[in-house]
Amino acid sequence: MIKFRCENCGQKFSVPAAHAGKKGKCPKCKKLLIVPVDTDADSSTAQTRPNEQQTEPEKSPYDLTLLDVPETAQARDHASSQDAVTVGTDQETQEVRKRRFPWIIDVLLYPISKPGLVTLAIIILIPLLFTFLGKTFTLAAAAFPPLLVFGALFVAVGFLARGVIGLYLFWYFCECIRDSAEGGLRAPETVGVAPGLWEMASQTLKAVCCFVLFVGPVGIYWHQAKGADIVLSVLLGYAVLFFPMGLLAVVMFDSLRGLNPILLIGSIVSTLLPYVAMLAVFVTVGYFMAQAEPPPGGSSVLSFVLHCFGIYLSLVAAHVLGWFYYRYQDQLNWEV
């Protein structure tokens, strides 16, 4: 077993030696950790006489490890080669995951997992439920006026629920980026790491600051100029070029220091060709999200479908960003 601690929060971990060199996230402070190689282990403990058996004190099969993987799962590590292929490097062993479908199709299927579908259901159906109850009681109040109180109550609670769920959507969007940055291919499970209201608000505020910094000038100039010109084109190019990298940096650093212009310019230059390719996908997803706005006077059903479509595509965009970091983190060299 390899024992070490998180330098950021002091959390202690005990990890099977088979996980040496692998990466994981501290469950307490969320800092990315690398399991150290156990160079101090006494080699004599690995040698036993033929007729002797090693005895160890009973312990939990999970042993409170960083990766939360039972020791009995070590024998199944080799069987996972159907989903991943190991590529050796000079520094460490990198695990490159394989997609089951062609890349563009598999990316679009990213939210199609049990956790992803459950999250989409929560985000979409809970506000819809409160809206339905509020309208139902309001209409019923025409026959029995006291029901108007319940109608107003459901409308007020629904308004608050939309606010909380909006914050949760931003938080889950960022979690999808982080999980994809670690090689995740489908929307992650977050039941065990349910965030507090302050954590969701903080994450949303960082994303909004990033949006305002890069996309805000385009909106302000468009509103003032009332038309397209060369200045608007330059501002639009600035937003398209810097917003995805800025958002990725803010999420991965979990701090606004990710908006450092020197960091962003250096990162774009070091990954220019793959970044431009990623931008093409990101802009395409953004275009369809922009089109997912109900037309004036459109039906409520169409508006609801387009709303769901926009939320779905936002998770796809999160995966594209996170996967870009996973593939090119050595070139980015952010040390997050």
Q: 32 lies in which domain range? A: 1-40+59-70
Residue 311 domain-assigned (yes or no): yes
Query: Residue 167: what pLDDT?
Result: 92
Separation of alpha carbons 48 and 294, rounded Å: 72
286 and 202, same structural domain? yes
pLDDT at 299: 65
- Do 64 and 186 share a domain, yes or no? no
Assess if residue 97 is contained within a domain.
Answer: no
Which residues, 6 or more positions from 251, have their beta carbon under 8 angstroms from its beta carbon? Answer: 174, 177, 178, 206, 207, 258, 321
Same domain, 65 and 107: no
- The domain total for the chain is 2
Residues in the chain: 336
Res. 21: pLDDT tops 80: no
Domain annotation covers residue 149: no
Cα-Cα-Cα-Cα dihedral of 181, 183, 185, 191, to 10°?
-70
34 SS3 class: strand
Which of the pair, 303 or 181, is modelled with greater confidence? Answer: 181
Residue 176 falls inside a structural domain: yes
Q: How confident is the model at residue 37 (pLDDT cuts 50, 70, 90)?
A: confident
Q: Tell me whether residue 214 is in a domain.
A: yes
Alpha helix locations (H) across 110-260? 114-140, 147-181, 197-225, 230-253
- pLDDT at residue 38 is higher than 70: no
pLDDT in tens, 174-198: 999 999 999 999 999 876 676 888 9
117-142 pLDDT, tens digit each: 999 998 999 888 888 888 888 788 77
The fraction of the chain above a pLDDT of 70, given in percent, is 77
Same-domain check for residues 18 and 108: no
Q: Tell me, what's the pLDDT at 144?
A: 80
pLDDT for residue 293 = 62
Residue 82 has pLDDT above 60, yes or no: no
Residue 71 DSSP code: G
Q: Tell me, what's the pLDDT at 206?
A: 92
Same-domain status, 186 and 229: yes
- Helices H / strands E in the chain, number of each: 8, 6
Residue 259 reports pLDDT greater than 80:
yes
Please report whether residue 197 resides in a domain. yes
CB 214 within 8 A of CB 246: yes
138-167 pLDDT, tens digit per residue, is: 788 778 888 788 778 878 888 888 899 999
Query: What is the average per-residue pLDDT within 99-111?
Result: 88
**DSSP run (H or E) holding 81:** none
- How far is 166 from 120, CA to CA, in rounded Å? 12
Look at residue 88 and tell me whether its pLDDT is greater than 90.
Answer: no
- Can you tell me the mean pLDDT for 206-222? 91
Domain contains 12: yes
